[in-house]
Amino acid sequence: MQRKKFIGIFDSGFGGLDIMRGITKALPDYDFIYLGDTARVPYGTRSKETIYQFTKEAVDFLFGKNCELVIFACNTASSDALRLIQKKHVPENHKNKKVLGVLIPAAEVAYEVSKNKKIGVMATASTVASKSFARELKKIDPEIKIYQQACPLLVPLVEAGEQNSEITETALRKYLKPLLAKKIDTLILGCTHYGILERKIKKIAGKEMKIVSESKIIGRKLKDYLVRHPEIEKKIAKNKRRTFYSTDLTDNFQKLGSKFFGAKIEVKKASLK
Ligand code: DGL
């Protein structure tokens, strides 16, 4: 009998645990494997070629651990590597397996909630340079106006545990200013680390601003996907197992990882090649 499969969740580091928290809330019974490439984080300042190479290795690792489906919680990997991985790497190396990203679900929700069709995106420098959010939003409606803002200080600030400090508030004000000047009514938090800053962002952007936070939407979107794909759903084990891997075992991963995930996690070391 075939061993039951897992859902894999991949991120460059531990920020994706916030998205996994939302996913496991929506799908509590399923078995998950998380991989954070903490040895090589951040991805958001790297070239497209490097991001593709690292992401490909992560995908091989997760399919090697018996995943049926892999979700890229990482926006940077979703922007710079997903399409080629789906078109080339998976068909050539992991036939009939599936890889999904976070951009399309976030773009769909932003489109649904925006009234004036002026949408802002906060993301890493690589995600912004790839223009991938703009591409996905324009596919939904070419009339949408998209304003992107690279926020390179936010990942290091969150990783340093500074999310509640004044310095983070100053950085957020600086990044939000040009977006607010464009009169956006919807803001996509296009990076794993920004969900944790949502309340602060809302405070600056004003309560009318519709915030699209991936940690809140990806679980629901994945649930819908599994309903539409029973051939995948039936292969995934439902024993509530969660296994966590990272490419570098640090106290920080254990500490901040548990904070992002909302529960204590035990992390095992992964070697990618
Ligand atoms: N996980 C990345 C993202 O969502 C942020 C951290 C990084 O730059 O690697 O874009």
pLDDT along the chain (273 residues), means of 10: 85 95 98 97 96 98 98 98 98 97 98 98 97 97 98 94 95 98 98 96 97 97 98 96 95 84 94 90
Choosing from 48, 55, 74, 188 the residue with most ligand 1 atoms within 8 A of its CB, the one to mutate for a pocket test is 74
Is the CB of 195 inside a 6 Å radius of any atom of ligand 1?
no
Q: CATH says 103-214 is which class?
A: alpha beta
Pair 63, 94: CB distance under 8 Å: yes
What is the model's pLDDT at position 111?
98
Active site residue 191: yes
Strand partners, 80: none
Q: To test the ligand 1 pocket, which listed residue (72, 75, 148, 247) has its Cβ within 8 A of the most ligand atoms?
A: 75
Question: Fold for domain 6-101+216-269?
Answer: Rossmann fold (3.40.50)
Counting atoms of ligand 1 from 1, which one is nearest the CA of 73?
4
| Amino acid residing at 19 | I
- In the reported structure, the alpha carbon of residue 224 is separated from the centroid of ligand 1 by a whole-number distance in angstroms of 25
**Confidence (pLDDT) at 273:** 80
CA 259 to chain centre: 16
Nearest atom, ligand 1, residue 193 CA: 5
62, 191, 217, 226: the catalytic one is: 191
| pLDDT score of 256 | 84
**Cα(3) to centroid(ligand 1), Å:** 32
Establish whether residue 192 lines the binding site of ligand 1, counting it when its CB lies within 6 angstroms of any ligand atom: yes
- The ligand 1 atom at the shortest distance from the C-alpha of residue 15 is 1
Q: Which pLDDT does position 76 carry in this prediction?
A: 97
What is the rounded distance in angstroms from the CA atom of residue 56 to the CA atom of residue 101? 14
CB-ligand 1 contact for 127 (6 Å cutoff): yes
Interstrand relation of 118-123 and 98-100 (parallel, antiparallel or unpaired):
unpaired
Confirm whether 151 is a catalytic residue.
no
Would you say the CATH fold of 103-214 matches that of 6-101+216-269? yes
Q: Which of 74, 151, 189, 267 is catalytic?
A: 74
Helix intervals (H) in the chain: 16-26, 48-64, 75-80, 82-84, 90-93, 103-113, 125-130, 132-140, 154-159, 166-181, 198-205, 214-228, 230-233, 251-261
Triad 41, 44, 49: Cα angle to 5°: 95
